[in-house]
């Protein structure tokens, strides 16, 4: 029974999922009500996770760990989910997606992410991934009337199932060699005997996880799914699942495969370089904002993975700090994208933004700063994120990685700046609707303030992340 005390956040979310489901079924037209309560549940869960942070524990026979890192990532997941629920409110109502299952599926996806970041066992990780992705498949195709949404759902489902299969194959190979599915026991096996031909298992597991965070060369699903799904779902895709996926990758690489760093280093370097470059090059030709954001998130994932190749605690710290800032930038950019509507029709093409600065100076300023920050231009937050990564990479004597990263960010600056040019220097277009709700305004304001004034105290995030990763050595 002792173990139960450590999983209060998960239990809280699961119980609220079940209660909300019953409420939603019996109350007609209950989307608003359920959404509000779900948001409150997420907000309540933050202090529960925080209070739960009383040390590093491994429970359920070492298969589930509640430590500062997982708690940090959980709070990040909860916050980003709350934001994505907040600024998508208008969109969901206008697009008639207001079914009460929508927030409930987000809730179940968050439970899956909690399992992913906490799991210390291959079975638990797999179950977490499945719970998360099953909810996301449904969310992607939630707009049944639209062909694109259905296509996105099916594509995501088929490729996700394939990647789960690859992941499971890797797990079974790993289990075959080590005789256990537990990270600690697997790493014990590696400690005693490094000659095991384990590379295949590792590759398959990394492929499976790379699929989930859409890193190149397993990114094919992401632009189509980002574009096809309703924008509210896309914004959720860009936020929480990335945190969960990276949490799982960090845990599996550093705890399970910590002993065989040399084996996986080159794989991660390859994935990271490919993601940075492809994300930068492929985005040049895109005119759809959502598709562009998909490529942008691919390249950002590349930077995070570059930090992980360092293989020590510094790398993890800079990776998580990068992730943090990435989340804030994504909140800002998706809140802006959800602002662009005329007479309740949403616009996704970048040319629709032409001359935005004349009609909506404040929004275009915020969007422009966000784009500058995404491109990594000082003194905005995005610059510091990239700085942390390059610093830890250079310290580990991998200067070439830093150079490639720099090149990629120079290339990507091109397409970010192109949008800024369209907004500020192209001929004026029709005005967008003014009556955006408070959620969008608050999200844009909040994230823009952080992005702009981050330089005042650039070590603040680093401090918290350092606290969170204390147990990794």
From 140-148, 214-222, 265-273, 322-330, give the range in contact with another protein by CB under 8 A: 140-148
Distance of CA 96 to the CA centre of its chain: 26
What is the DSSP secondary structure assignment for residue 102, as one 8-state letter? H
Among 110, 116, 131, 306, binds another protein (CB under 8 A): 131
Among 58, 80, 84, 135, binds another protein (CB under 8 A): 135
Distance of CA 20 to the CA centre of its chain: 25
Distance of CA 166 to the CA centre of its chain: 21
What does the CA dihedral 469, 470, 472, 473 come to, rounded to 10 degrees? Answer: 140
> Closest distance between another protein and the C-beta of residue 18, in Å?
8
From 73-81, 107-115, 253-261, 281-289, give the range in contact with another protein by CB under 8 A: 107-115
From 170-178, 209-217, 269-277, 384-392, give the range in contact with another protein by CB under 8 A: 170-178
Please tell me whether residue 168 binds another protein under the rule CB under 8 A. no
Among 2, 29, 192, 473, binds another protein (CB under 8 A): 192
Please name the residue that has the structure tokens 């026979």.
61
* The total number of residues written for the chain in this structure: 473
Q: Which of residues 21-50 bind another protein (CB under 8 A)?
A: 21
Nearest by Cα to 107 from 264, 236, 294? 236
Among 22, 29, 197, 456, binds another protein (CB under 8 A): 197
> Closest distance between another protein and the C-beta of residue 242, in Å?
20
Q: Which of residues 257-316 bind another protein (CB under 8 A)?
A: none
Q: What is the spatial distance between Cα 343 and Cα 385, in angstroms, rounded to a whole number?
A: 38
Handedness of CA 407, 411, 414, 415 (dihedral sign): negative
> Closest distance between another protein and the C-beta of residue 22, in Å?
12
> Closest distance between another protein and the C-beta of residue 340, in Å?
28
Among 36, 144, 191, 431, binds another protein (CB under 8 A): 144
Please tell me whether residue 140 binds another protein under the rule CB under 8 A. no
Among 61, 287, 459, 460, binds another protein (CB under 8 A): 61
E-state strands within 283-351: 341-342, 345-346
Please tell me whether residue 442 binds another protein under the rule CB under 8 A. no
Among 20, 30, 79, 101, binds another protein (CB under 8 A): 101
Among 76, 92, 104, 202, binds another protein (CB under 8 A): 104
Cβ contact 164:126 at 8 Å: yes
Please tell me whether residue 12 binds another protein under the rule CB under 8 A. no
Q: What is the spatial distance between Cα 149 and Cα 237, in angstroms, rounded to a whole number?
A: 14
Nearest by Cα to 417 from 376, 458, 362? 376
User: Residue 18 or residue 438: which is nearer to another protein going by CB?
Assistant: 18
Sequence-ordered alpha helix ranges (H) in 87-146: 89-94, 101-118, 122-140
**What is the radius of gyration, based on Cα positions, of the chain?**
21
Nearest by Cα to 88 from 98, 73, 75, 100? 98
Please tell me whether residue 371 binds another protein under the rule CB under 8 A. no
User: Residue 123 or residue 449: which is nearer to another protein going by CB?
Assistant: 123
Q: What is the spatial distance between Cα 6 and Cα 113, in angstroms, rounded to a whole number?
A: 17
Q: How many separate helices (H) and strands (E) can be counted in the chain?
A: 20, 4
Cβ partners under 8 Å of residue 135, min gap 6: 105, 106, 108, 109, 112
Nearest by Cα to 84 from 467, 463, 443, 454? 443
Please tell me whether residue 134 binds another protein under the rule CB under 8 A. yes
Please tell me whether residue 179 binds another protein under the rule CB under 8 A. yes
Among 5, 193, 428, 430, binds another protein (CB under 8 A): 193
Among 57, 177, 261, 464, binds another protein (CB under 8 A): 177
Q: How many residues contact another protein, by CB under 8 A?
A: 39
Cβ partners under 8 Å of residue 246, min gap 6: 213, 301, 304, 319, 320, 323
> Closest distance between another protein and the C-beta of residue 45, in Å?
16
Please tell me whether residue 186 binds another protein under the rule CB under 8 A. no
Please tell me whether residue 111 binds another protein under the rule CB under 8 A. yes
Among 20, 78, 82, 124, binds another protein (CB under 8 A): 124
> Closest distance between another protein and the C-beta of residue 128, in Å?
8
SS3 (DSSP) at 120: coil
Q: Which of residues 227-266 bind another protein (CB under 8 A)?
A: none
Query: Which residues contact another protein by CB under 8 A?
Result: 7, 14, 17, 21, 60-61, 63-64, 99, 101, 104-105, 108, 111, 115, 123-124, 127-128, 130-131, 134-135, 137-138, 141-142, 144, 153, 169, 173, 176-177, 179, 192-193, 196-197, 200
């Amino acid at each position: 029974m002792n173990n139960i005390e450590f999983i209060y956040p998960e239990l809280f979310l699961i119980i609220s999922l079940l209660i909300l489901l019953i409420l939603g079924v019996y109350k007609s037209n209950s989307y608003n009500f359920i959404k509000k309560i779900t948001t409150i549940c997420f907000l309540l869960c933050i202090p529960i996770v925080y209070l739960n942070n009383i040390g590093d524990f491994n429970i359920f026979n070492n298969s589930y760990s509640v430590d500062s890192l997982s708690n940090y990532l959980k709070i990040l997941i909860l916050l980003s989910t709350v934001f994505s629920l907040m600024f998508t409110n208008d969109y969901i109502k206008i697009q008639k997606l207001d079914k009460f299952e929508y927030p409930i599926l987000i809730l179940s996806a968050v439970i899956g992410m909690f399992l992913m970041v906490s799991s210390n066992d291959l079975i638990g990780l797999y179950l977490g991934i499945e719970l998360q992705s099953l909810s996301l498949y449904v969310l992607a195709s939630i707009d049944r009337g639209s062909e694109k949404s259905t296509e996105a759902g099916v594509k995501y489902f088929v490729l996700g199932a394939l990647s789960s299969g690859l992941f499971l194959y890797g797990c079974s190979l790993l289990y075959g060699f080590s005789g256990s599915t537990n990270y600690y026991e697997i790493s014990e096996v590696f400690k005693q005997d490094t000659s095991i031909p384990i590379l295949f298992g590792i590759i398959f597991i990394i492929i499976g996880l790379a699929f989930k965070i859409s890193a190149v060369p397993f990114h094919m699903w992401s632009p189509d799914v980002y574009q096809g799904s309703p924008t509210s779902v896309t914004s959720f895709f860009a936020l929480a699942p990335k945190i969960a996926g990276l949490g799982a990758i960090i845990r599996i690489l550093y705890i399970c495969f910590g002993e065989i760093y040399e084996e996986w280093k080159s794989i991660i370097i390859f994935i990271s370089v490919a993601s940075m470059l492809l994300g930068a090059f492929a985005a040049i030709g895109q005119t759809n904002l959502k598709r562009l954001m998909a490529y942008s998130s691919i390249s950002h994932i590349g930077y995070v993975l570059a930090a992980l190749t360092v293989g020590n605690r510094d790398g993890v710290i800079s990776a998580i700090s990068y992730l943090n800032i990435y989340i804030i930038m994504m909140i800002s950019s998706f809140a802006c994208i959800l602002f662009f509507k005329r007479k309740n029709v949403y616009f996704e093409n970048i040319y629709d933004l032409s001359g935005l600065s004349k009609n909506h100076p404040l929004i275009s300023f915020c969007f422009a700063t966000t784009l500058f920050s995404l491109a990594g231009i000082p003194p905005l937050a995005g610059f510091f994120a990239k700085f942390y990564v390059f610093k830890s990479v250079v310290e580990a004597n991998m200067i070439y990685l830093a150079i490639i990263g720099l090149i990629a960010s120079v290339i990507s600056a091109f397409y970010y700046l192109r949008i800024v040019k369209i907004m500020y220097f192209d001929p004026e277009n029709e005005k967008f609707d003014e009556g955006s709700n408070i959620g969008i305004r608050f999200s844009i304001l909040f994230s823009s303030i952080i992005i702009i004034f981050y330089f005042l105290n650039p070590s603040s995030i680093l401090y918290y992340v350092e606290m969170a990763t204390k147990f990794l050595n």
